[in-house]
A = this chain, B = another copy of it.
């Protein structure tokens, strides 16, 4: 099932300037990302909960990217990608399509570099995210809420502005940036034995798995996915990249499918992928809100649900870290209402 990634994983990125060919990111890329973005990102805290430890029989480390800038880990990858651009590539700005956290992250990173950001957002994006993106000074172009409309609109924006497209996950600079969260975690909590991360596009899971394999090969990184959006699970199982399922899982950050690059990273470095039901996700999310008094988005309730519902093998007594991806939730539409 594992592929020879050095041979296979050479990609042309349609929207990047020139035809850059890329290998899978490595721990060294993550370390470089860490020093590149260190001044811009928050070194996020790790929280623990006595009640969670009692419930699970583990020591659980919550690496809280909901306290990251823009409220999500996405700022790590976005700032690494934007700060990596050459002066030449920077001058026409950056562009992306995103319904949420990646949009805000690119907008803020561009603002910090003082370059334009062009964001294509589905018109049904949560109000709070539209306001935040606009608040960072980005130019928003709204589109129909379909993948096709997003891509076509983006293509036009890039054509008109000469800006550089930054893909939300299928980009080695993004993956390396996302991996800095696990790098911090393993520096601060070197006794971590298992890391759980949700899998959507796979940027975070890839970066996390690369960081862990590089720093502590004995650490198992396990991806967690909604049952009704289990394309990564199926891809991992069959060894063939499966399309996303276009489902309406409550974990809205995980509706997207893997990219070729993230799939290759996961095949190389991930231990396994487990899935959970929608009910398990909502229940875990609410539990964390009520017991820990932190706001976490449904996407990162997925690994919590996996731990709560005995989906992780051989976990009792272990030190288990969960990457809490973010806390950007539309407070007018909570999933338990």
| Chain A residues at the B interface, C-beta cutoff of 8 Å | 45, 47, 50, 66-67, 69, 71, 128, 286, 289-296, 326-328, 331-332, 334, 336-337
Q: Pick the contact of A334: B326, B328, B331 (CB < 8 A).
A: B331
Q: Say whether B331 contacts A293, CB under 8 Å.
A: no
Which residues of B sit under 8 angstroms from A332, Cβ to Cβ?
336-337
Which residues of B sit under 8 angstroms from A328, Cβ to Cβ?
293
Q: Pick the contact of A71: B286, B293, B327, B331 (CB < 8 A).
A: B293
Q: Say whether A293 contacts B66, CB under 8 Å.
A: yes
Which residues of B sit under 8 angstroms from A337, Cβ to Cβ?
332
Bound state CA distance, A326 and B290, in angstroms?
11
Closest 9 CB pairs of A and B: A293-B327, A293-B295, A66-B293, A71-B293, A294-B294, A128-B290, A289-B295, A295-B295, A289-B331
A66 → B minimal CB distance (Å):
4
Q: Say whether A286 contacts B45, CB under 8 Å.
A: no
Which residues of B sit under 8 angstroms from A293, Cβ to Cβ?
66-67, 71, 294-296, 326-328
Bound state CA distance, A295 and B290, in angstroms?
9
Bound state CA distance, A326 and B293, in angstroms?
9
State the copy count for this chain.
2
Bound state CA distance, A71 and B290, in angstroms?
9
Bound state CA distance, A69 and B50, in angstroms?
9
Residue among A66, A286, A331 with the highest chain B CB neighbour number at 10 A = A331
A133 → B minimal CB distance (Å):
14
A61 → B minimal CB distance (Å):
15
A60 → B minimal CB distance (Å):
15
Bound state CA distance, A192 and B332, in angstroms?
35
A284 → B minimal CB distance (Å):
14
19 contacts between A and B (CB under 8 A): A45-B45, A47-B67, A50-B69, A66-B293, A67-B292, A71-B291, A71-B293, A289-B295, A289-B331, A293-B294, A293-B295, A293-B296, A293-B326, A293-B327, A331-B334, A331-B336, A332-B336, A332-B337, A334-B334
Told that A289-B295, A294-B295, A332-B336 touch, could you supply 7 new A-B pairs with CB distance under 8 A? A45-B45, A286-B331, A293-B327, A294-B294, A331-B334, A332-B337, A334-B334
